[in-house]
Amino acid sequence: MEASPKSAKRPPLILGIAGGSGSGKSTVAKAVLEALTPGQGILLQQDHYYRPQSHLPERERASVNYDHPDALELDLMMAHVDALRSGEPIVRPTYDFATHDRLKEGLRLEPAPVIVVEGILVLADERLRSRFEVKLYVDTDSDIRLMRRIRRDLEHRGRTFAQVRQQYYESVRPMHMAFVEPSKRFADIIIPEGGQNRVALDFLFSFVRQRAAEGG
């Protein structure tokens, strides 16, 4: 078989980043994209693939278990990863955490040499994780994650402290133990303390920059 010419473009690098809620996944994912030049990388967040809950009255939407894989439209997410990998643009849904519903307008995303896929459950599903060339798990202690989550949910997701506490006991904690934490064993690289781990981030940045320069 003939060797492919040196100038041939590689397929995009697909990087999966998992970890518990509040672990710093989005911070790491955004740092990776900022290490690249605009157009070299895109971010696909699992959070936007929550199933819309518009069929439920508003007060019932808060008690849905959003930490179980069934709460997500993973088939659509996988189809979007495949489309981007094949060089096709997608229209990603946009999820609103305050209403637990999708906004009318999605967001068009163009393919790029580096595709970062981030979310609590992205390594938990075998079909999704098999699409990643590199699998990362951001590992942060549960007390730190909980403190971050309380602050974020009160300040940015329109919740009360009582709602955050109830959701944490009823679904976030048990689902973390059942699905998120066990998915750590599928990671190629575990990053303690996410966004503040300069050594891990610098390794990651040089790897993604190299791949972006090669076309994927």
Ligand X SMILES: O=c1ccn([C@@H]2O[C@H](COP(=O)(O)O)[C@@H](O)[C@H]2O)c(=O)[nH]1
Cα distance between residue 118 and residue 124, in whole Å: 12
Instruction: Tell which one of 17, 172, 200, 212 touches ligand X (CB under 6 A).
Output: 172
Query: Which entry of ligand X, ligand ADP, none binds 194, CB below 5 to 8 A by partner kind?
Result: ligand ADP
Binding site for ligand ADP (CB under 6 A): 19, 21-27, 148, 152, 193-196
- Say what angle helices 198-213 and 25-34 make with each other, to 10 degrees: 50
Count of residues of this chain found to bind ligand X when the rule CB under 6 A is applied: 10
Instruction: Tell which one of 16, 35, 41, 66 touches ligand X (CB under 6 A).
Output: 66
Name which of 13 and 146 has its Cβ closer to ligand ADP. 146
Query: Which entry of ligand ADP, ligand X, none binds 86, CB below 5 to 8 A by partner kind?
Result: none
Cα distance between residue 65 and residue 166, in whole Å: 11
Please report whether residue 16 would count as binding ligand X according to CB under 6 A: no
Instruction: Tell which one of 47, 133, 181, 214 touches ligand X (CB under 6 A).
Output: 47
Cβ(37)–Cβ(153) below 8 Å: no
Closest CA to 97 of 165, 46, 142: 46
Strands 95-96 and 90-92: unpaired
- H or E element at residue 136: strand 134-139
Closest CA to 72 of 16, 33, 120, 115: 120
The 71-100 contact track toward ligand X, x by CB under 6 A, reads --------------------------x--x
Residue nearest to ligand X (CB): 21
Name which of 74 and 113 has its Cβ closer to ligand ADP. 74
Least spacing, CB of residue 187 vs ligand ADP, in Å? 14
The 102-131 contact track toward ligand X, x by CB under 6 A, reads ------------------x-----------
- H or E element at residue 91: strand 90-92
Query: Which entry of ligand X, ligand ADP, none binds 66, CB below 5 to 8 A by partner kind?
Result: ligand X
Please report whether residue 56 would count as binding ligand X according to CB under 6 A: no
- State the greatest distance between any 2 C-alpha atoms of the chain, in Å, as a whole number: 64
Instruction: Tell which one of 17, 67, 114, 191 touches ligand X (CB under 6 A).
Output: 67
Cα distance between residue 86 and residue 196, in whole Å: 34
Cα distance between residue 123 and residue 118, in whole Å: 9
